C-alpha cells in the first residue's frame, strides 16, 4: 500500500488547485486510477458525492476511499510523477453550500422543530434529510419557521471551524451527535464562545455560514416513522426560483391571467372541469340508457353486441350500457374498441345465474388481456381486437349452456 494520502480538503475547502505526486496506480470501476501523496479531491461519503476535476490534464470521473486509500478514477491512462491537479470549482462550491446548509438546517430542525436528523443525501438537483419527526407535525408553518431559523444562521455570516478537537474541547461542546469516526467537528460560531451548532463531520465546509447563500425547504413527506425533507441551498435556490417562475408564467399563459392570479384562476378552472365531467357523465348515462333500450328491443335472451362508444369513453360507456340492460332484466355481454384495445363489459340481474367474473376473465384471456369482477358485473380488456366477436360468442355460448 502507498503512504497515507494527506487530505487537503479537510483543512481548506476553498483549495481547488494543487500539486501532488502519483504514489500508486490502481483500477476503480474498470477505469485506470491513481493514488496521490496529497489530495484536495473529496471521496464520496457521508451523503456527499465525490469531487470531479482533472489530474495531470486527465479528467477525474470518480473518487472513492478503498481500504484506507483515496483512489482517483480517470477517464484515460494514469499520469506519472508530479502532476498539477484541479478540483472542479463549481461542483465543489455547490457541494460545500449543500452540505453546510444541511448542517444549519439540521440544527434549526432540532432547535425549532424538535426533530433530529437521521441521514442526509446530496442529490444532483435537490438534497434530502430524514428526520425523526412524523410528517404530520411538519406542516407548512413549521417548515417555514425552521427555514427562517436556518437562514438566520446563514445571514449572520457566522464563523465556521472544521478541525480535530481535543477531548476537553469536545466535552465543552453541545454536540448534536457523538463522533462515530475521528474527532473532527464542524463548529458554527465562536470557539470558544457562543457556539450555535457543533456536529462531527468529515465533509467539506465553508469558512463562514454566509457562503451558503440561502436555504429553501421544498417540502416534506412521510418516510418510515419519520419524514424526508427536501431542500436546496446557495446557487440551487436561485435556479429553483427561476424554474418556479417559469412554471408559474406558463400556467398563467395557459389560464390567460397574471401570474399573481394563478391560484384563483386554477381553482375556478378545476371547479369548471369538475362540473363539465359531471355533465359528461350525465349525458353518457342518458346515452347508455337509450342504447340499452334499443338493444333490449332487438330480441329476447342474452344481449351480445359490439358498441360504437363516444370518443374517449369506451370502457365507461360499455359498462353503463351493460348495467342499464341488467336493470331491465337482461344479461349483457358487450364489447367496444378504442385506441387499439378491445373492452369487455358483462352484467346481469342480481340473483342466481352465470358467474360473469369468470366469463369475462376467459373472454379477456382470448383477447390476450385480463379481466374479472363479481358474479353479476365484470369488466376486462385485451389488445387482440380482431378476436372480439369470437370472445363474445364464446361467452354467450357459456351463458346459454
- Note the pLDDT of residue 85: 98
Q: What is the pLDDT of residue 170?
A: 84
The number of C-alpha atoms within 13 Å of 42 and in the hemisphere containing its C-beta is 29
Rounded Cα–Cα distance for residues 72 and 35 (Å): 6
Helix intervals (H) in 115-163:
140-155
Please report the domains of the chain, with CATH numbers, ordered by start residue.
Answer: 6-87 (2.40.30.130), 93-246 (3.30.980.10), 282-400 (3.10.310.40)
Cα torsion through 242, 244, 249, 254, rounded to 10: 150
Residue 14 has pLDDT above 70, yes or no: yes
Q: What is the pTM of this model?
A: 0.74
Q: What is the pLDDT of residues 331-375, one digit of tens each?
A: 999 999 988 999 999 999 999 999 999 999 999 999 999 999 999
* pLDDT for the residue 173: 87
- Counted residue by residue, the chain has a size of 401
**Are 82 and 49 contacting, i.e. CB atoms less than 8 angstroms apart?**
no
b/e sequence 356-373, b meaning 16+ C-beta within 10 Å = bbebbbebbebbebebeb
pLDDT exceeds 60 at position 17: yes
Count of beta carbons in the 10 Å neighbourhood of residue 282? 10
pLDDT at 24 over 90: yes
Q: What digits encode the pLDDT tens for the residues 169-197? A: 888 888 888 877 778 999 999 877 788 99
Cα–Cα distance measured from residue 61 to residue 310, given in angstroms and rounded to the nearest whole number: 56
Instruction: Report the range of poorest mean pLDDT among 57-71, 226-240, 264-278.
Output: 264-278
d(Cα 21, Cα 5) in Å, to the nearest integer? Answer: 10
Q: Rounded distance, CA 370 to CA 382, Å?
A: 7
What is the spatial distance between Cα 154 and Cα 104, in angstroms, rounded to a whole number? 8
Among residues 293, 374, 382, 391, the alpha carbon closest in space to that of 334 is found at: 391
Q: Could you report the per-residue pLDDT of 122-172, keeping only the tens digit for each? A: 999 999 999 999 999 999 999 999 999 999 999 999 999 999 888 888 888
Q: How far apart are CA 235 and CA 126, in angstroms?
A: 11
With a cut of 70, say whether residue 113 has pLDDT above it. yes
Neighbours of 266 (CB within 10 A): 15
Instruction: Flag whether pLDDT at 38 surpasses 90.
Output: yes
Note the pLDDT tens digit of each residue in 41-75: 999 998 899 999 999 999 999 999 999 999 999 99
Gap between the Cα atoms of 196 and 189, Å rounded: 5
Q: Which band of pLDDT confidence, cut at 50, 70 and 90, is reported for residue 2? A: low
Percent of the chain with pLDDT over 70: 99
Helix, strand, coil tally for the chain in percent (to 5): 40, 30, 30
Amino acid at each position: 500500500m502507498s503512504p497515507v494520502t494527506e487530505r487537503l480538503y479537510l483543512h481548506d475547502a476553498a483549495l481547488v488547485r494543487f500539486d501532488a505526486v502519483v504514489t500508486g496506480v490502481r483500477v476503480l470501476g474498470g477505469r485506470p486510477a491513481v493514488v496521490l501523496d496529497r489530495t484536495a479531491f473529496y471521496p464520496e461519503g457521508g451523503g456527499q458525492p465525490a469531487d470531479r476535476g482533472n489530474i495531470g490534464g486527465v479528467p477525474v470521473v470518480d473518487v472513492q476511499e478503498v481500504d484506507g486509500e483515496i483512489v482517483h478514477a480517470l477517464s484515460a491512462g494514469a499520469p506519472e510523477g508530479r502532476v498539477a491537479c484541479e478540483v472542479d470549482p463549481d461542483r465543489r462550491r455547490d457541494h460545500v453550500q449543500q452540505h453546510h446548509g444541511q448542517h444549519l438546517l439540521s440544527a434549526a430542525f432540532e432547535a425549532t422543530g424538535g426533530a433530529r436528523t437521521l441521514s442526509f443525501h446530496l442529490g444532483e438537483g435537490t438534497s434530502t434529510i430524514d428526520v425523526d419527526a412524523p410528517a404530520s407535525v411538519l406542516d407548512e408553518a413549521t417548515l417555514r419557521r425552521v427555514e427562517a431559523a436556518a437562514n438566520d444562521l446563514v445571514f449572520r455570516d457566522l464563523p465556521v471551524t472544521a478541525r480535530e478537537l481535543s477531548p476537553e474541547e469536545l466535552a465543552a461542546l453541545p454536540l448534536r451527535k457523538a463522533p462515530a469516526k475521528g474527532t473532527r467537528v464542524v463548529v458554527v460560531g465562536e470557539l470558544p464562545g457562543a457556539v450555535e451548532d457543533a456536529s462531527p463531520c468529515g465533509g467539506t465546509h465553508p469558512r463562514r455560514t454566509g457562503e451558503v447563500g440561502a436555504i429553501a425547504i421544498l417540502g416534506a413527506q412521510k418516510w418510515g416513522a419519520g419524514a424526508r425533507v427536501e431542500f436546496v441551498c446557495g446557487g440551487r435556490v436561485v435556479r429553483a426560483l427561476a424554474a418556479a417562475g417559469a412554471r408559474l408564467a406558463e400556467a398563467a399563459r395557459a389560464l390567460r391571467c397574471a401570474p399573481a392570479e394563478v391560484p384563483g384562476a386554477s381553482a375556478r378552472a378545476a371547479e369548471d372541469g369538475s362540473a363539465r365531467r359531471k355533465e359528461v357523465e350525465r349525458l353518457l348515462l342518458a346515452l347508455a340508457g337509450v342504447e340499452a333500450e334499443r338493444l333490449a328491443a332487438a330480441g329476447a335472451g342474452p344481449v351480445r353486441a359490439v358498441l360504437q362508444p363516444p370518443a374517449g369513453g369506451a370502457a365507461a360507456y360499455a359498462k353503463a350500457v351493460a348495467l342499464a340492460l341488467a336493470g331491465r332484466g337482461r344479461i349483457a355481454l358487450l364489447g367496444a374498441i378504442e385506441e387499439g384495445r378491445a373492452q369487455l363489459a358483462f352484467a346481469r340481474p342480481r340473483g342466481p345465474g352465470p358467474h360473469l367474473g369468470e366469463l369475462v376473465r376467459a373472454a379477456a384471456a382470448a383477447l390476450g388481456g385480463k379481466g374479472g369482477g363479481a358474479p353479476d358485473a365484470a369488466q376486462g380488456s385485451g389488445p387482440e381486437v380482431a378476436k372480439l366477436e369470437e370472445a363474445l360468442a364464446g361467452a354467450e355460448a357459456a351463458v346459454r349452456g
